[in-house]
Amino acid sequence: MHLLWVLIIGGVIGWLGGLIVGRDVPGGIIGNIVAGLVGAWLGGLLLGSFGPIVADFAIVPAILGAIVVVLILRAILRGTRRA
């Protein structure tokens, strides 16, 4: 049951990251989940854990990390589309 909550919260975090940046995450819901999980890991690594914690995610660093992941994906995909 915990894994289901991690996937749901990871998807919501990835969706919020894409929403804040103003760019959809490629890959749909799977892309949102991956961006949320990687963003939560990156945010926790760089910023620690502060703010509310849901399903073992510190929400504030996770959303900030997801924003960084979405921006990186956007830069990578923008570079590959020009070629």
pLDDT for 56-82, tens place per residue? 888 899 989 988 988 888 888 776 765
Give the pLDDT score at 26. Answer: 77
From residue 71, how far is each of 4, 51, 60 by CA, in Å? 26, 23, 17
pLDDT for 15-37, tens place per residue? 888 888 887 777 778 888 888 89
